[in-house]
A and B are shown apart, each in its own frame.
Chain A
Amino acid sequence: MITEAIKCSRRAIIPYVTAGLPDMETTGRIIQSLAEAGAAAIEIGIPFSDPMADGPVLQQASKQAIDSGFKMEALFEHLPGWAAQCRVPLIIMSYINPLMRGGLAATLRRLESSGVSGIIVPDEPTDAGELFQLTQDVGLDLIRLVAPTTPTERQREIVSQCRGFVYAVAVKGVTGARTLMPPELEDNVRALKSLTDLPVCVGFGVAGAAQVDAIIRFADGVIVGSYLMERLMQAEDPVAAAREVMKNLGGELSEDI
């Protein structure tokens, strides 16, 4: 489902939102408005107290969501409604500890039965075979990350245990908008694409329509997280802001096609 959604989209943009910010009801409306404004799929982040792969914006988002009372039970209550209303695949982004707390297999099964299509785990074990098997068993796509530092041999191994799309990490470092993308990104993505039939989407550091435009020329999709969340957190009306940012990211592109 995720693979098809990206392949069917002429310009696949995958926005990321932290769940529970400012509250679960608003998160639902933000997801709806992102879907209506043309998102190919939507990444929903489970807030975590110690997000070691995240920069300041998503750290802050996590903290605020937890401080405002985010609970896993509330997420499971809301997910089926979100999935039913927005008609684009929902992907859960979570550090491994919140997924393990209720039992990894049981949590994955609950996510799947709540309408989630795939998961991304930024601190998955370096030997992720068991996690991959668990996701296969319950029918979730495990979207795995390939970093700028990942050797080719390991890239092969990762894409063979990956479903949905391959997440190409654009920069060495944590999440957060960057003014410049590294010059070798295009070559890296092209090399990665030669190893797999799965779509390759680029995330970490993507900021603004111009960068999306540049990346989408060689990648199958773009993930936009911190850039979007920073604007949502500043906005008086985050639902309207989500629509606005999403339109701006896609709008400029539609002229370019």
Chain B
Amino acid sequence: MKGSFGEFGGQYVPETLYPALVELENAMERAFGDTAFWTEFDSLMADYVGRPSPLSLARRLSAHYGLEVWLKREDLNHTGSHKINNAIGQILLARRMGKTRIIAETGAGQHGVATATVCALFGMLCAVYMGSQDMQRQRLNVERMRLLGTEVIPVTTGSATLKDATSEAIRDWVTNVDTTYYLIGSAIGPHPYPTMVRRFQSIIGAEARAQIMAKKGALPQAVIACVGGGSNAIGIFAGFMDDPVELIGVEAYGNGVHSGASINFGIPGVLHGARLHLLQDGDGQVLPTHSVAAGLDYPGVGPEHSYLAVSGRARYGLVDDQQALAAFALLNRLEGIAPALESAHAISYLETYARDHQGACVIVNVSGRGDKDLHTVLEEGL
């Protein structure tokens, strides 16, 4: 099937969207083959986002775990996460396609803020769908989006989190398909989104590989990143796909009752336009999820991750809420870095990894910064 990763991916959408996906795929292919497109992308990455993001040796964290830990600092990007890379890429594409209105979904609010930011930069109308539960736990990001001139639309259906915000954004897109560009925030959705988002986020992996070769002169043994939909992970993995480097995604184990760990506990199924590992019951109903990190609170996963898991090229570990909160505190104290709770899942996995890999060199993707999570962290009593 078109746009598939092995048995995963594809296009399962209401027929109304079919021509929009064809239009998007054609525009994407023309843009990707156009050096002028990449010149503009690269210059915005440098001068607006502040790339390349540093690759920092975490000396005290390394000593703590008995590893050599390098941190890819996506938290230092403008708007505070890796989401801006994809938002810039897609807004350039939307402009080329003549679209004037942008919609997006957001969980933690990082993608919403990134989208609101590029819409302000390019003078586009913007509406962001956000679960009402997420709006409460990420209030700071809601206010930021509003300041940027974006309309934040609360989603109260279903579990009122990222899954439902995504469904609602798709419903808006079906209704306003002529004028509206759907700027999806993760490596999910129907083809060509997973491929497109991976391409824009692959700047993380390309930089990280060049940086580790320049600083250390050798490849790391492993690359570790958190996986909700999985865009920061697929972005950093892309740089090491053909290298003898272990690729490890970290899923949210949640609170022991519900998780966001679709690859570990899901069964292949279709959600939001693609076939992927899905947390579902015996009847094919999507199950409730939970993670302290709103950005990992999602019952599916990017289809390429499903493929990488099944093919064995990557493996996917688990970190629960309490472990992530502890890692959040640890990185603050040892390195002076407050990671997003999503990224704290990747940091926390070092503890597991260190057990069998003492002395190994690893890169961890710090996909975002944790200011947005202070409220949650304080509530959790840290």
Contacts and interface: CB of A to CB of B under 8 A. Distances in A.
Interface of A: 48-53, 55, 59, 63, 66, 70-72, 95-102, 122-127, 144-151, 154, 158, 169, 172-174
A63 B157 CA distance: 9
A97 B15 contact: no
B240 to A, nearest CB: 32
Interface residues of B, number: 40
B167 interface: yes
B171 A174 contact: yes
Interface string B3-36: 0000000111111111111000000000000000
Contacts of A145: 14-15
Contacts of A63: 157-158
A145 to B, nearest CB: 5
B157 A49 contact: no
A96 B274 CA distance: 11
Among B1, B12, B158, B163, which residue has the most Cβ atoms of chain A within 10 A?
B12
B332 interface: no
Contact of A146 (B1, B11, B15, B157): B15
B285 A127 contact: no
Contact of A52 (B2, B14, B20, B21): B14
A147 B12 contact: no
B16 A149 contact: yes
B285 A48 contact: yes
Nearest to B171: A174
12 contacts: A49-B158, A49-B285, A101-B284, A125-B1, A125-B12, A126-B18, A145-B15, A146-B15, A149-B19, A150-B19, A154-B18, A169-B16
B229 to A, nearest CB: 15
A99 B14 contact: no
Given A97-B270, A101-B269, A52 B15 contact: no
B283 A72 contact: yes
B100 interface: no
A55, A97, A100 — which one has the most chain B CB atoms within 10 A of its CB? A97
Contact of B14 (A97, A127, A147): A147
Contacts of B164: 50
A124 B175 CA distance: 18
Contacts of A172: 16, 174-178
Nearest to A122: B14
